[in-house]
Amino acid sequence: MHHYPPLQGLGKTIQTAIYINYIASSLGNRGPFLIIAPLSTLLHWKREFDRWTDLNTVVYSGNADDRSTIRELEFAFKVDRPKNNNQKQNYLARCSQKGSKIWMVQVVITTPEYLMTDDSSELEAIDWEVLVVDEAHRLKNHTAKLAIKLRKEGFRFSNILCLTGETKFRFVFFS
């Protein structure tokens, strides 16, 4: 049996950006699209989306206050934002109830760790068109926190794109 090192630079990020752009521009589906990637790659993902697409792309990271500001200013169109921001209620759920469920943000890039925070229920308020999981071989363990979180009823997505560079999982699959 041959053991090959993981391949770096396969172009998965660029291919994904072009694929998501095709869905948005050619198929007329503006998303939103959720990208889950390792922290060390978030800025790379953002840079490639900015370089290859015109999609409104946001990196969802930082401390709780940073993420709250991102949700309040970057996710919903101004007309869809609730007038009274009661911190005890899910802000994005109130935005989606008020508006037409067309979000200002089209692509949200975050890490698995941010899906485990107390405010992750905010992201569950959105019906995601495509969920992209970079380093998806981590999902093979069904008891992993990320795998459990994504199977939870609260997260809704129409399609999943799993990416990996691991040699024994070197493929892309859709669901």
Residue range 115-121: mean pLDDT, rounded: 79
Q: Strand order of the sheet with strand 57-59?
A: 57-59, 107-110, 33-36, 127-133, 156-162, 173-174
Is the pTM higher than 0.75? The answer reads yes
Domains of the chain and CATH, by start = 12-174 (3.40.50.10810)
Q: Which two tokens stand for residue 133?
A: 């999981």
pLDDT digits (tens, 9 = 90+) for 59-103: 999 998 899 889 888 988 887 777 776 656 677 777 766 555 788
Name the pLDDT band for 161 (thresholds 50, 70, 90): confident
Q: How, if at all, do strands 107-110 and 57-59 pair?
A: parallel
pLDDT digits (tens, 9 = 90+) for 16-49: 999 999 999 999 888 899 999 999 999 999 999 9
Report the alpha-carbon angle 129-132-133, nearest 5: 145
Asked if residue 112 has a cis previous peptide bond (ω within 30° of 0), the answer is: no
More confident residue, 171 or 55: 55
